[in-house]
Amino acid sequence: MPGSAAIGSEAPTDEASFQQRAAHYRDLLDQLNARRREMQQGGGAKRVERQHERGKMTARERIDYVVDDPDDFMELGLFAGFEMYEDEGGCPSGGTVLGVGPISGRLCLVVANDATVKAGAWFPITAKKNLRAQEIALENHLPIIYLVDSAGVYLPMQDEIFPDKEHFGRIFRNNARLSSEGIPQVAAIMGSCVAGGAYLPIMSDEALIVKGTGSVFLAGPYLVKAAIGEDVDAETLGGAVTHSEISGVTDYEAADDEDCLDTVRALVDQFGPFERAGYTRKEPAPPAFDADEMYGIMPDSGNQQYEMREIIARIIDAESWTEYKAGYGKTLITGYARIDGWNVGVVANQRSIVRKKVDHESRGEIQVGGVIYSDAADKAARFIMNCNQKRVPLVFFQDVTGFMVGKRAEHGGIIKDGAKMVNAVANSVVPKFTVVMGNSYGAGNYAMCGRAYDPRLMLAWPTAKIAVMGGTQAARVLKQIQVRKLEKQGKALSEEEEEALLSSIEARYEQQTTPYYAAARLWVDALIDPTATRRWLSRGIEMADHNPEMPPFNPGVIQT
């Protein structure tokens, strides 16, 4: 393409170091795939069998049936609840399956309760995951399909689910907001739907119910008996016949799961047209280099250096790269590119070491890759504003250890320049997408569009680490605090005891920085294979293109 610069080079695939890195990364992917299969089993084989005995599909089977192509369904929040709630028996995937895929040719968000996990009961992470689903639908104006099969709030943890702003009640508030925005919501009641949870399907635009297995009521038979002394069975109280022929609460009665999902597909097929944002997309072209080579380029430890442009070259369309301020602020890379044909602006941390020109003693420093310097922050802020001016979606590739510190950095105004970049990211109105490839530490996480800055999708590779600082540094700080506390109590630790304490703290801290820890808490939307990055980003921009509304860009007061 005229005006575009070449990016990337042939990978040294024959070198031992490349092969070692690639082998290490494939080990990480084997672990990821094994854990993915474990989470996809939900409550386990016995509970799946019980679901089938009741004449019901599982949540994943329902999704496979309702979407056009199960292989085109992209799951979000798979690792929600991973290694959480162990004392409660666990909550794989937060008891909910969530993702995006075409239904009758229309891109939809699908949320399905997994009744094999505690009968679909809502844990705190379940509420968080469902709220995230509605947030995605609101941001992108995506139709949302609820496949309801839930026993309601998990009562032993009701204080962590029920009363606060971002708890259970927010779901129904969002039902109302989605409806007011004209975003279609279709709810299929395919199992239990109890108490406050009954409002979710009935506050949707249209509700279906399956005869014999679906039921919806504010109070179940046991509670009705306890409250008013009335004996009534679940079907009579709130089954399909009751709500389809007597109360009029539901709109469609289905004979079984398949009939219900066929009706959902028919309803989606009858949706009216929608306006697009119109983000620029040209004919897609594959990357110039094999995406698998990223395994051998990425380091096998977090402090090794590598050339970020080599990674970018294996994600973007070939010959689509135009770098912005290539010779300035070199610890950040900024440039325009296309990903699967979509035009994007790229902001990426550079991890190779770059020496500044030595003019005199004060300039004789080495810039360390992964650190954001004042000139890089200034460059990125200007580039982000340009992308907003041009209505170009932004993609952030994170491998950042934070902003530069020290006397020279402070005298040079690092706080001012860092604030400028954070301001630009925070006030950006174009869709933003974030990929955590490696480190994501401290204020670097914020400036590079971490979760707090509303990326439409936040993705992580198996090498991702999210924390306030690196594990070694944090462990030493925490150890010093603990040692001083003991000294105030008149206790002294031997050198061996101090080392043991340091090792214990470091192990605990490192466990909290893993991508699985982040994904379990929905700090990221999905853990992905690096080679899938291009596909995920393309789907994200396709989602964003469903929302034509964009407020004017106003960065507010930016210090210069």
Q: How confident is the model at residue 535 (pLDDT cuts 50, 70, 90)?
A: very high
pLDDT digits (tens, 9 = 90+) for 122-149: 999 999 999 999 999 999 999 999 999 9
Q: How confident is the model at residue 252 (pLDDT cuts 50, 70, 90)?
A: very high
- C-alpha 324/C-alpha 311 separation (Å) is 17
* Burial class for 37, CB neighbours closer than 10 Å (0-12, 13-18, 19+): exposed
Q: Across residues 313-339, what is the average pLDDT?
A: 97
Q: Is the pTM of this model over 0.75?
A: yes
Which has the closest alpha carbon to 188: 268, 305, 90?
268
- C-alpha 341/C-alpha 285 separation (Å) is 7
Q: How confident is the model at residue 116 (pLDDT cuts 50, 70, 90)?
A: very high
- C-alpha 131/C-alpha 285 separation (Å) is 36
pLDDT digits (tens, 9 = 90+) for 328-361: 999 999 999 999 999 999 999 998 865 554 444 4
Contact (Cβ atoms closer than 8 angstroms) between residue 113 and residue 278: no
Contact (Cβ atoms closer than 8 angstroms) between residue 153 and residue 162: yes
- Which helix (H) or strand (E) segment holds residue 459: the answer is strand 457-460
Q: Would the pLDDT of 117 be above 90?
A: yes
Longest dimension (CA), the chain: 90
Q: Would the pLDDT of 538 be above 90?
A: yes
- C-alpha 9/C-alpha 468 separation (Å) is 34
β-strand partners of 106: 103
pLDDT digits (tens, 9 = 90+) for 227-248: 899 999 889 998 999 999 999 9
- C-alpha 72/C-alpha 64 separation (Å) is 10
Contact (Cβ atoms closer than 8 angstroms) between residue 438 and residue 298: yes
β-strand partners of 396: 347, 434
* CB-side neighbour CA atoms (13 Å) of 547: 25
